[in-house]
Amino acid sequence: MIVWGGILTVSIGALFLAGILPGLLIGIAQMATVHAYAKARGYPTYPRSSFRQLLCALWVSIPALMTPFMQDRRRLLTRLTAGLTVAQGMPIVDSQRIAVMGFCFGGLCALDFARANSDVRGVASFHGLLKPSGFTEPKIRAKVLILHGYDDPLAPPEDVLAIASELTAAGADWQLHAYGHTVHAFTNPKANDRAGGKQYDEAADRRSWHALEEFLAEVLK
């Protein structure tokens, strides 16, 4: 749907938000068209992909699924709030003592909880995306912890300065830990693509988790 929306200048977010059926129909139609065209032209074919290769391709494509939510942060917040409501209703959950944490896109989601003044005591973002939501409340109540790789290409220094100004203007109790020589995905032991901006860093992983433990001990006491 991303390719389709780009070619026809149709809203990618609208295509996704319409549900899974339009995407399936468009995908099937595209695959059928390409297959028929290639067969008619006698194009060479590749060997059939293994199940492992299909899973790898699926994994690589997952980030594209964030696109519609990045385009419509209000819609994203609606879904996040629904999840929070479910959690608050669980017998094992103290609805008055909730904190939210997330990694990468999840870090952005955690920050959006704070921006919207959701009923949480604190939010923590690990190598999260820092782009503004467009709906930051005048006064943020939740405490905010941002754990950031300073060389993260997905959250460059200008984004860091922007969110610092945003949180300060909203009167938030915020802190930001930036780890030098550290890029995106520094908590993921499987991340090993320094050139692509994703690399595990044992020290940053350990230090950031320690910072989270101290943060939670403070906000949930």
Residue-wise pLDDT tens digits, 51-100:
888 887 776 777 777 777 778 899 899 999 999 999 999 999 999 999 99
Residue 9 confidence (pLDDT) = 60
Closest CA to 126 of 111, 142, 140: 111
User: Which amino acid would we find at residue 88?
Assistant: Q
User: If you average pLDDT over residues 116-142, what whole number do you get?
Assistant: 94
Residue 7 confidence (pLDDT) = 57
Rounded mean pLDDT of the chain?
Answer: 89
The C-alpha atoms of residue 120 and residue 148 are separated, in whole angstroms, by: 21
Tell me the pLDDT band of 18, cut-offs 50, 70 and 90. low
Q: What's the whole-model pTM score?
A: 0.76
Residue 155 confidence (pLDDT) = 96
Residue ranges, CATH 3.40.50.1820, the chain: 72-219
Residue 2 confidence (pLDDT) = 59
The CATH class of 72-219 is alpha beta
